[in-house]
Amino acid sequence: MSNENTPIVSVRGLTKTYDGGHQALKGIDLDIREGEILALLGPNGAGKTTLISTVCGLVTPSSGTVTVGGHDIIKDYRVTRKLIGLVPQELTLGAFDLVGDTVRFSRGLFGLPPNEDRIDEILTDLSLIDKKDDPVNRLSGGMKRRVLIAKALSHEPRVLFLDEPTAGVDVELRKDMWKLVEKLRQDGVTIILTTHYIEEAEEIADRVGVISDGRLLVIDEKANLMASLGRKQLMVDLRAPVEVLPDSLSKFNLERSDDGLRLTYTFDTQGERTGITALLQALNAAGIGLKDLNTSQSSLEDIFVNLVHRDHER
Ligand SMILES: Nc1ncnc2c1ncn2[C@@H]1O[C@H](COP(=O)(O)OP(=O)(O)OP(=O)(O)O)[C@@H](O)[C@H]1O
Ligand SMILES: [Mg+2]
């Protein structure tokens, strides 16, 4: 299981059709590497929660297989459930429970021996230790979310699923959460989180997957994703409109605005040469006068929007 090349979670041909006929997952193949932080992005209803819930054994797949630590989640569910911690998207806590009790209870559910030091350590990491004897219903929303994380960590899982851990959480707590995720990674925990905050994926993930309409559209190293799909553009505003571009400019594949006043040049951020100098020389040689130059770089957000948009047009 600790073999670097063996995925800690392996999903093959996973589909899910809910009662009523909605197909929420349309064939997902996914390998999660031990120790990585994987962020899953996708619009509302894309199937992120369904995917996570299936791996965690809360939703029964319609077809396909999932293994965790090499064990099948259906045949060996006792083993796989112990390896997994889940922080659900919806806040699900008994109103009258005390913080310490509810975390202790979660640990017990997995058959682990009591370990008050471990519980205190988790509560301390989550800045909840001074709330240990407080009823959960007196906590703020952000604190309740941290209690859910404490519960999910109580049985010392190897893989932690966080379903929108920072939804509705203030900036400071979000940063605390990121620190916690980093600390868990240092402890060797594999982390899969879903998020709508692209900067969150940008900040903490090693790899990013994009899910749309039940399909995994891409999954790659964050840096690769930005390099392979990211493009830079140079916008050239002209003094006078051009009707037709001279042949000498054809190799630049310029895009001309409808009013002829702007040319857009798109280039690869990975390329050794941008071609900008050559373009400017060619424009000069063609007698096209410039008024202004601007550049823009596609962010992970642009990439994401483009991908999902393209998927919806299929
Ligand atoms: N229990 C259920 N019964 C029927 N349909 C469901 C059920 N749960 C989810 N769905 C449907 O499956 C699709 C995927 O839902 P899911 O919750 O997995 O999306 P999501 O990507 O997590 O969205 P969000 O970002 O809003 O949390 C949606 O169309 C949803 O309405
Ligand atoms: Mg969801």
Q: Cα of 44 to ligand 2 centre, how many Å?
A: 7
Is residue 140 a part of any domain in this protein? yes
- 100 and 162, same domain (yes or no): yes
**Residue 272 located in a structural domain:** yes
My answer on whether 103 and 173 are in the same domain is yes
pLDDT of amino acid 199: 77
Own/partner pairs for 65-72, CB < 8 Å, 24+ apart? 65/10, 65/11, 65/12, 65/13, 65/14, 66/9, 66/10, 66/11, 66/12, 66/14, 67/9, 67/10, 68/8, 68/9, 68/159, 69/1, 69/8, 69/158, 69/159, 70/1, 70/6
Separation CA 81–CA 68 (nearest Å): 9
Q: What pLDDT is attached to residue 222?
A: 85
Residue 183 lies in a domain: yes
What is the per-residue pLDDT for 1?
Answer: 47
Q: Is 45 in the pocket of ligand 1 (CB under 6 A)?
A: yes
Asked whether residue 86 falls in the same domain as residue 152, the answer is yes
Domain-embedded: residue 240? yes
185 & 250 share domain: no
**Domain contains 303:** no
> Ligand 1 centre from 44 Cα, in Å?
8
Q: Are 192 and 237 part of one and the same domain?
A: no
- Kindly report the CATH number assigned to the domain that includes residue 269: 3.30.70.1560
Same domain, 143 and 272: no
Mutate to test the pocket of ligand 1, among 48, 193, 195 (most ligand atoms within 8 A of CB): 48
Per-residue model confidence (pLDDT) at position 171:
81
Residue 229 has a pLDDT of 65
State in Å: Cα 21 to ligand 1 middle. Answer: 12
Shortest-distance Cα residue to atom 2 of ligand 1: 18
Q: Are residues 51 and 194 part of one domain?
A: yes
Same domain, 99 and 158: yes
How much is the pTM?
0.79
Same domain, yes or no: 201 and 269: no
Q: Tell whether ligand 1 has an atom less than 6 A from the beta carbon of residue 60.
A: no
Q: What angle do CA 63, 66, 68 make, to 5 degrees?
A: 165
What domain range is 103 assigned to?
35-56+81-207+220-227
Q: Into how many domains does the chain fold? A: 2
pLDDT tens-digit profile, the chain (314 residues):
445 578 999 999 999 999 999 999 999 999 999 999 999 998 889 999 999 999 999 999 999 999 999 999 999 999 999 999 999 888 777 767 899 999 998 888 888 889 999 999 999 988 899 999 999 988 988 888 889 999 999 999 999 999 998 877 778 888 888 888 998 999 999 999 998 887 788 889 999 999 999 999 999 998 787 666 667 789 999 999 999 999 999 999 999 999 999 999 988 766 667 788 899 999 999 999 999 998 877 666 677 777 777 767 66
